[in-house]
C-alpha cells in the first residue's frame, strides 16, 4: 500500500512539474515572440520582452535558452548601435558559457564561443578600436579556416573577411583590404546555399569596395558602386544599410567637390532616420562637411558643434578618435576664418582626444607612446603646426614658430611609426602622397627660423626634413641589404620572402597580360595570403629582421661636406605647392633658399622639357638661361661638378641642356659634370655597397631583334627594328670585356639567369613607360612564341643584381608616374630596387643613331678611368663637337642622364709604377756617376 501511494505521489509530482514546464515554456515563447516584433522598430520594447524571457530562463536554469536570449539582445543592441547594452550582454554571455560549460552540448559549444568572439570583435570594431578588434578577427580566421566547411564556419568566415576588409581600409592597408574583400566574394560564389540573402551579402562587399575606392581618391568608381547600393537598399527597405549607403555616397560627393548633389542627398535622406537614431550624429557631421567645402563657415560650425555634442554623448564624454576628428574640422574652420586663437584651443582639444585614456592632457609635450599613431593624427598635428605659424606671422614672436617646428618634427616621428605597419609599396606611397604637405610646412618653418635667427640648428633640421621626404622605399630595400650583411640574418629568410613576392608578381603579370579567368584571381588571393601570413610570422619570430627594414639614420651634413672637393656642389630640391626649396652644400658653405612656385615658373619648366625632348621645337636660349639662373643658385654656379637631387617635375629636366649664357647657346654640359640622385642618405647607402665580381669590369650587353616594320619611326618606344642597337653593343665589346646577347638569342629566358654575374649591364632595346599602371612599364626583348618578351617593372623589383652600372639605352627609362618623395616610378627606379648602384637612363624617346654614338664614347671614357658622370659628360661633348648644327639640338644628346654612384669603373691608379720605375732611374743615375768616378 505504501509503495502504491509513493508511486501515485511521484506520478502526480511529475505530472505537476511537466505542467509547470509546459506553462513556463509557453510564457518563454510568448516573451520572445513579443520581443521579435520590436527588434528593428523599438529597441526598448525588444529589451523589455527579452529580459522577461531571460528571467524565466534563469529561474528554470535553461542555459541553452538563456544563451540564445543573450545572443538576441546582443543582436538588437548591435543593430541599434547601443554599445553599453552590447558590452554588458557580451560579458553576461561570456560568464554564462564559462561557468556552465557542461550544460551545453559539446558539438555546439565551440561554435557558441566562436560566435561570442565574433561579437566581441564587432564591439571593438564599432568603437573603432582596431588594435583590439583586429587580433580577435585574425585569431578567429586562423582557427576557422582549418576547420570543416560547415554552414556556421563559412558564414562566420564571411563576416570576419568583411570586418578585416573594413579595418585594413581604415588603416590604409589597401592591398590587404582588397585581398580579404576578394576572399569574401569567393565564399559567396562557392557556398551560395549557406547564406540566407546572397544578394545582400554581395552588396555589402560592394560597399566595402566603394570605401576602398573613395579612400584612394578614386571617387568615380566609388560613387558608381554606392549609387547601385542605394537603389538596392531602397527596394529592400533595410534601414541601417540604406542610411550608411546614403552617408557614404554623400561623403564621396563632398570629397569630389559635388556639393550640390551632396546637399540634395542629405535632404532626401533625412526622412529615413528614426527617433534617437545613432546615425544622426553622422548626418550632422556631413552637413558640416558640405558647408565647409562650400566655404559657408557659419553653417559648417553650426552643424559641426551639434555633431560634436552628439558624439560626446554617444562616447560617454570619454576620449575618442571620433571626437578628435570633429574637433579637427571645427579647428580647421576657425583657421580658414583666421580666428587662430580659437583654432589653437580646439586643435589642442583634438590632440588630447588622440592620447590614451589616463595619460596627462598635455598636448605640448607628447611622446609617441602616449598617442594614437595613424593618418588622422598626422592631419591634426599638421593643422596645429600651421596655426602656430600663423601666430608667428601675426606677432613676429619666434616662440610660436619654434613650437610649430617642434610639432612638425613630432608629426614626422608619427609618420615613421606608421610606415613599418604598411607592407605593400602602393599603400606606403599613398600614405606619403597624403602627408607630403607636412614636409613643406616644416621646411617653411625652418626657412623662417633660420632667416630670423641665423642659427645653424635650423639648417640641420631643414636637411633632416628634406632627407625624410625622399626615397623612403628605396632606403628600406638598401638598408635591409646592408643590415643582412652585418647582422647575420639567415639568407633563407630573405630568399623565402623574395620567392613569395616573385610568385605574386608572376600571377599579377599573367592576369594583366591575358585578362585571365577567376581561377587566376583565386590563385592570386591565395598567394597574397601566404605572403601576408609569412610577413606576420616574421614580425613575431624574427623581429630583428622586420625592424631592420625601417631603422635608418639620416646622413649628417658634416659627413657630406667632409667628402666634397672645392670643385663640387650638391643641391637638393623640394617641389612644394607654394615654394621651390633649394638646399645647397659645398665644401665650405651651406645655403638654404627658396623661390615662389607660381604658374609662370611651372610654364617655363614644362616649355623647356617640350623643347629639348622634340627636335622639331627650336631651342630658346633666353628662357633656358632664365631657368638656369633660377634653378642653379649663384653659390654653385662656379662649381664644375654638380650633384642634383630633383623633386616633382624637375625629375624630367636634363640640367646639362640649360644654357649658362643669356646671349648665346652655351650648354651646361660644356663646363659642368652633372649627376643625379634621390637622397643623400640613399646615396651614402649605395656607396657603401661592395659587390665581389668574378667578372670584374665585364659587361653583359644585350641587343634584341625586332622585325615589325609597321612604322617608319626610329625611336625606341615602338617595336620597329632598331638599326643601330647591334652596332652599339659591338662597339662596347671592342672597348670592354663584353659578353653579348644579340638578335634572336636575346630572349628574356636567356638573360634573366645571367644578370647577377656581371658588374655592368647594358640594354639597347625598346622600352615603354606606363603611367596608369607603373608596375607594368617594361623593357622589350626579342619576341618569342613560347614566352613573353616583356620584362615588367614588377618583375625587375624581384630580381637580384650585383651591378655597379646599368645602362638603359632605350626610350623613357627614367620617365614614369611622379610620386611625392619617391620621384619617377620608372624602369630605372626598379633597377635601383634590384641592386644597381648607378643607372644611365633616358628622359624621352631617344634617337637610335645618336644613342649608339654617345654610348660608344661613354664606354671608351669609362675605360680610360673617368668617373661615370665625367664619362657621360665627355661623350655628350664629343657628340656636340662632331655633329652638324641640326643634330646639336638637345633632343639628340641630352636625354641620357646618370643617377646614383658615379665612381669610376676602371681603376687607373698608376702610383704603383712610381715604385717600380724610381729604383730603376736611381740605378741608372748611380751607374752613370759611378762610371764617371773611375774614368
Instruction: Read off the CATH number of the domain in which 791 is found.
Output: 3.40.50.1460
C-alpha cell at 758: 656581371
Q: What residues contact 91, with CB distance under 8 A and at least 6 apart?
A: none
Sheet of 568-575, strands arranged across:
590-596, 579-586, 568-575, 641-645, 673-676, 896-900, 838-842, 805-809, 760-764, 698-704, 737-743
Residue with cell 574637433: 327
Name the domain boundary from 161, 182, 205.
161
Please, is 735 exposed, middle or buried when counting C-beta atoms within 10 Å of its C-beta (0-12, 13-18, 19+)? middle
Q: Please answer whether residues 818 and 649 qualify as being in contact, where contact means their C-beta atoms are separated by less than 8 angstroms.
A: yes
Dihedral, CA of residue 867, residue 870, residue 871 and residue 872, to nearest 10: 130
Sheet of 767-768, strands arranged across:
767-768, 778-780, 790-792
Number of Cβ within 10 Å of residue 1's Cβ equals 5
Give yes or no: residues 480 and 495 share one domain.
no
Give yes or no: residues 694 and 824 share one domain.
yes
Sign of the alpha-carbon torsion through 869, 871, 873, 875: negative
Residue of 712, 716, 692, 735 lying closest to 810 (CA atoms)? 716
Report the C-alpha gap between 828 and 825 in whole angstroms: 8
Give rounded-to-5 percent helix, strand, coil for the chain: 65, 10, 25
Residue with cell 581561377: 519
Give yes or no: residues 694 and 801 share one domain.
yes
Tell me, yes or no, whether 402 lies in a domain.
Answer: yes
Tell me, yes or no, whether 272 lies in a domain.
Answer: no
Give yes or no: residues 699 and 825 share one domain.
yes
Helices 375-395/398-418 angle, 10° precision: 170
What's the whole-model pTM score?
0.82
Q: Please answer whether residues 751 and 790 qualify as being in contact, where contact means their C-beta atoms are separated by less than 8 angstroms.
A: no
Sign of the alpha-carbon torsion through 457, 460, 466, 472: negative
CA-derived radius of gyration, the chain = 35
C-alpha cell at 836: 644597381
Tell me, yes or no, whether 181 lies in a domain.
Answer: no
Q: Report the alpha-carbon angle 619-625-631, nearest 5.
A: 120
Q: Please answer whether residues 279 and 239 qualify as being in contact, where contact means their C-beta atoms are separated by less than 8 angstroms.
A: no
Q: Please answer whether residues 33 and 26 qualify as being in contact, where contact means their C-beta atoms are separated by less than 8 angstroms.
A: no
Burial letters 200-234, b for 16+ CB under 10 A, else e: ebbbbbbbbbbbbbbbbeebeebbebbeebbebbe
Give yes or no: residues 668 and 744 share one domain.
no
Burial letters 253-288, b for 16+ CB under 10 A, else e: bbbbebbebbbebbeebeebebeebbbbbbbbbbbb
C-alpha cell at 394: 601675426
Give me the pLDDT at residue 712, please.
39
- Identify the helix (H) or strand (E) that includes residue 586: strand 579-586
Q: What residues contact 915, with CB distance under 8 A and at least 6 apart?
A: none
Give yes or no: residues 582 and 652 share one domain.
yes
Give me the pLDDT at residue 516, please.
58
Residue of 549, 568, 585, 566 lying closest to 463 (CA atoms)? 585
Tell me, yes or no, whether 25 lies in a domain.
Answer: no
Give me the pLDDT at residue 507, please.
79
Name the domain boundary from 161, 196, 215.
161
Report the C-alpha gap between 305 and 446 in whole angstroms: 35
Give yes or no: residues 787 and 896 share one domain.
yes
C-alpha cell at 799: 630580381
Q: Please answer whether residues 90 and 116 qualify as being in contact, where contact means their C-beta atoms are separated by less than 8 angstroms.
A: yes
Beta bridge partners of 557: none
Residue with cell 560579458: 91
Q: Please answer whether residues 851 and 728 qualify as being in contact, where contact means their C-beta atoms are separated by less than 8 angstroms.
A: yes
Segments of the chain scoring below 50 in pLDDT? 1-18, 359, 486, 709-718, 910-915, 930, 933-935
Number of Cβ within 10 Å of residue 569's Cβ equals 26
Tell me, yes or no, whether 309 lies in a domain.
Answer: no
Identify the domain containing residue 610 by its residue range.
560-676
Give me the pLDDT at residue 930, please.
46
DSSP string, 258-312: -HHHHHHHHHHHGGGPPTT-TTHHHHHHHHHHHHHHHT-HHHHHHHHHHHHHHHH
Q: Please answer whether residues 613 and 891 qualify as being in contact, where contact means their C-beta atoms are separated by less than 8 angstroms.
A: yes
Name the domain boundary from 434, 464, 485.
485
Longest dimension (CA), the chain: 163
Give yes or no: residues 836 and 700 share one domain.
yes
Give yes or no: residues 110 and 46 share one domain.
yes
3-state class of 485 per DSSP? Answer: helix
Give me the pLDDT at residue 9, please.
37
CA 77 to chain centre: 37
Give yes or no: residues 728 and 853 share one domain.
yes
DSSP-derived secondary structure letter, 773:
S
Please, is 777 exposed, middle or buried when counting C-beta atoms within 10 Å of its C-beta (0-12, 13-18, 19+)? buried
3-state class of 569 per DSSP? Answer: strand
Q: Please answer whether residues 715 and 847 qualify as being in contact, where contact means their C-beta atoms are separated by less than 8 angstroms.
A: yes
Give me the pLDDT at residue 911, please.
45
Residue with cell 589653437: 344
Tell me, yes or no, whether 168 lies in a domain.
Answer: no
> Is residue 835 left, alpha or beta, with left meaning phi > 0 and alpha meaning psi from -120 to 50?
left
Pairing of strands 760-764, 737-743: unpaired
Residue with cell 654617345: 854
In total, the chain counts a number of residues equal to 935
Tell me, yes or no, whether 15 lies in a domain.
Answer: no
Tell me, yes or no, whether 174 lies in a domain.
Answer: no
Q: Please answer whether residues 636 and 571 qualify as being in contact, where contact means their C-beta atoms are separated by less than 8 angstroms.
A: yes
DSSP string, 643-667: EEE--GGGGG--GGGSBS-SSS--B
Give yes or no: residues 763 and 903 share one domain.
yes
- Identify the helix (H) or strand (E) that includes residue 457: helix 456-468
In total, how many domains does the chain have? Answer: 5
Q: Can you list the alpha helix ranges (DSSP code H) found in 396-455?
A: 398-418, 425-435, 437-453
DSSP-derived secondary structure letter, 784:
B
Q: Report the alpha-carbon angle 408-373-284, nearest 5.
A: 95
Give yes or no: residues 671 and 739 share one domain.
no
Pairing of strands 760-764, 698-704: parallel
CA 914 to chain centre: 55
Compute the half-sphere exposure of residue 682: CA atoms within 13 Å on the CB side of its CA: 29
Report the C-alpha gap between 91 and 70 in whole angstroms: 10
Burial letters 358-387, b for 16+ CB under 10 A, else e: eeeeebeebeeeebbbbbbbbbbbbbbbbb
Amino acid at each position: 500500500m505504501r509503495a502504491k501511494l509513493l508511486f501515485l505521489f511521484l506520478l502526480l509530482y511529475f505530472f505537476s512539474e511537466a505542467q509547470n514546464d509546459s506553462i513556463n515554456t509557453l510564457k518563454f515563447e510568448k516573451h520572445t515572440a513579443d520581443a521579435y516584433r520590436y527588434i528593428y522598430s523599438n529597441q526598448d520594447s525588444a529589451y523589455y520582452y527579452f529580459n522577461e524571457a531571460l528571467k524565466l530562463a534563469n529561474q528554470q536554469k535553461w542555459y541553452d535558452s538563456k544563451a540564445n536570449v543573450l545572443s538576441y539582445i546582443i543582436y538588437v543592441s548591435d543593430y541599434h548601435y547601443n554599445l553599453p547594452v552590447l558590452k554588458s550582454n557580451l560579458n553576461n554571455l561570456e560568464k554564462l558559457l564559462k561557468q556552465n560549460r557542461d550544460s551545453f552540448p559539446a558539438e555546439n559549444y565551440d561554435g557558441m564561443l566562436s560566435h561570442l568572439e565574433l561579437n566581441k570583435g564587432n564591439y571593438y570594431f564599432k568603437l573603432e578600436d582596431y588594435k583590439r578588434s583586429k587580433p580577435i578577427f585574425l585569431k578567429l580566421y586562423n582557427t576557422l579556416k582549418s576547420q570543416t566547411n560547415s554552414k556556421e564556419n563559412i558564414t562566420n568566415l564571411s563576416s570576419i573577411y568583411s570586418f578585416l576588409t573594413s579595418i585594413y581600409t581604415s588603416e590604409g592597408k589597401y592591398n590587404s583590404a582588397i585581398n580579404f574583400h576578394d576572399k569574401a566574394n569567393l565564399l559567396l560564389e562557392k557556398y551560395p546555399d549557406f547564406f540566407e540573402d546572397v544578394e545582400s551579402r554581395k552588396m555589402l562587399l560592394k560597399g566595402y569596395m566603394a570605401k576602398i575606392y573613395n579612400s584612394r581618391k578614386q571617387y568615380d568608381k566609388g560613387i558608381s558602386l554606392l549609387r547601385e547600393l542605394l537603389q538596392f537598399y531602397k527596394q529592400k527597405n533595410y534601414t541601417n544599410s540604406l542610411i550608411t549607403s546614403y552617408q557614404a555616397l554623400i561623403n564621396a560627393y563632398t570629397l569630389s567637390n559635388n556639393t550640390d548633389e551632396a546637399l540634395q542627398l542629405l535632404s532626401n535622406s533625412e526622412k529615413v532616420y528614426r527617433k534617437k537614431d545613432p546615425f544622426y550624429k553622422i548626418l550632422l557631421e556631413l552637413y558640416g562637411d558640405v558647408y565647409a567645402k562650400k566655404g559657408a563657415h557659419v553653417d559648417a560650425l553650426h552643424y559641426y558643434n551639434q555633431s560634436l555634442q552628439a558624439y560626446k554623448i554617444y562616447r560617454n564624454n570619454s576620449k575618442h578618435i571620433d571626437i578628435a576628428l570633429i574637433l579637427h574640422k571645427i579647428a580647421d574652420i576657425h583657421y580658414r576664418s583666421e580666428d587662430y586663437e580659437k583654432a589653437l584651443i580646439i586643435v589642442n582639444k583634438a590632440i588630447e582626444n588622440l592620447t590614451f585614456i589616463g595619460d596627462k592632457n598635455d598636448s605640448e609635450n607628447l611622446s609617441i607612446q602616449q598617442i594614437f599613431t595613424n593618418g588622422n593624427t598626422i592631419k591634426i598635428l599638421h593643422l596645429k603646426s600651421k596655426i602656430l605659424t600663423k601666430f608667428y606671422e601675426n606677432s613676429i614672436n619666434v616662440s610660436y614658430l619654434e613650437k610649430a617646428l617642434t610639432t612638425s618634427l613630432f608629426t614626422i616621428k608619427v609618420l615613421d611609426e606608421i610606415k613599418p605597419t604598411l607592407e605593400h609599396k602602393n599603400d606606403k606611397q599613398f600614405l606619403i602622397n597624403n602627408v607630403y604637405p607636412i614636409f613643406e610646412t616644416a621646411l617653411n618653418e625652418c626657412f623662417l627660423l633660420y632667416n630670423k635667427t641665423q642659427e645653424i640648428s635650423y639648417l640641420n633640421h631643414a636637411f633632416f626634413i628634406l632627407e625624410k621626404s625622399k626615397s623612403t622605399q628605396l632606403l628600406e630595400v638598401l638598408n635591409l641589404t646592408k643590415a643582412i650583411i652585418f647582422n647575420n640574418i639567415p639568407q633563407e629568410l630573405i630568399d623565402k620572402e623574395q620567392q613569395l613576392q616573385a610568385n605574386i608578381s608572376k600571377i599579377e603579370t599573367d592576369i594583366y597580360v591575358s585578362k585571365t579567368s577567376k581561377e587566376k584571381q583565386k590563385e592570386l588571393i591565395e598567394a597574397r595570403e601566404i605572403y601576408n601570413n609569412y610577413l606576420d610570422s616574421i614580425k613575431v619570430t624574427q623581429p630583428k629582421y622586420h625592424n631592420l627594414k625601417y631603422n635608418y639614420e639620416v646622413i649628417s651634413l658634416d659627413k657630406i661636406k667632409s667628402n666634397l672637393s672645392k670643385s663640387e656642389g650638391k643641391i637638393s630640391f623640394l617641389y612644394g605647392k607654394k615654394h621651390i626649396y633649394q638646399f645647397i652644400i659645398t665644401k665650405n658653405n651651406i645655403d638654404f633658399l627658396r623661390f615662389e612656385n607660381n604658374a609662370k615658373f611651372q610654364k617655363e619648366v614644362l616649355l623647356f622639357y617640350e623643347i629639348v625632348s622634340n627636335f622639331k621645337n627650336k631651342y630658346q636660349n633666353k628662357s633656358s638661361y632664365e631657368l638656369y639662373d633660377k634653378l642653379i643658385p649663384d653659390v654653385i654656379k662656379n662649381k664644375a661638378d654638380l650633384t642634383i637631387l630633383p623633386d616633382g617635375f624637375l625629375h624630367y629636366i636634363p640640367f646639362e641642356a640649360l644654357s649658362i649664357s643669356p646671349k648665346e647657346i652655351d650648354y651646361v654640359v660644356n663646363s659642368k659634370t652633372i649627376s643625379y640622385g634621390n637622397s643623400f642618405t640613399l646615396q651614402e647607402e649605395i656607396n657603401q655597397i661592395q659587390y665581389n665580381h668574378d667578372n670584374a669590369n665585364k659587361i653583359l650587353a644585350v641587343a634584341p631583334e625586332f622585325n615589325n616594320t609597321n612604322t617608319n619611326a626610329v625611336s625606341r618606344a615602338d617595336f620597329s627594328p632598331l638599326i643601330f642597337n647591334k652596332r652599339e653593343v659591338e662597339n662596347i665589346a671592342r672597348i670592354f670585356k663584353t659578353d653579348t646577347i644579340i638578335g634572336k638569342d636575346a630572349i628574356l629566358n636567356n638573360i634573366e639567369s645571367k644578370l647577377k654575374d656581371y658588374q655592368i649591364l647594358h640594354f639597347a632595346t625598346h622600352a615603354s613607360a606606363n603611367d596608369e599602371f607603373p608596375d607594368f612599364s617594361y623593357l622589350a626583348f626579342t619576341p618569342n612564341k613560347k614566352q613573353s618578351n616583356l620584362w615588367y617593372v614588377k618583375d625587375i623589383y624581384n630580381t637580384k643584381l650585383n651591378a655597379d652600372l646599368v645602362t638603359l639605352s632605350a626610350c623613357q627609362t627614367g620617365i614614369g608616374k611622379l610620386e611625392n618623395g619617391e620621384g619617377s616610378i620608372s624602369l630605372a627606379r626598379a633597377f635601383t630596387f634590384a641592386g644597381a648602384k648607378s643607372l644611365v637612363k633616358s628622359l624621352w624617346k631617344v634617337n637610335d643613331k645618336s644613342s649608339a654614338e654617345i654610348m660608344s664614347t661613354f664606354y671608351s671614357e669609362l675605360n680610360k678611368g673617368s668617373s661615370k658622370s665625367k664619362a657621360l659628360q665627355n661623350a655628350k661633348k664629343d657628340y656636340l663637337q662632331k655633329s652638324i648644327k641640326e643634330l646639336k639640338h638637345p633632343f639628340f644628346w641630352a636625354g641620357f642622364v646618370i643617377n646614383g654612384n658615379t665612381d669610376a669603373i676602371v681603376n687607373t691608379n698608376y702610383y704603383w709604377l712610381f715604385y717600380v720605375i724610381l729604383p730603376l732611374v736611381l740605378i741608372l743615375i748611380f751607374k752613370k756617376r759611378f762610371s764617371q768616378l773611375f774614368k
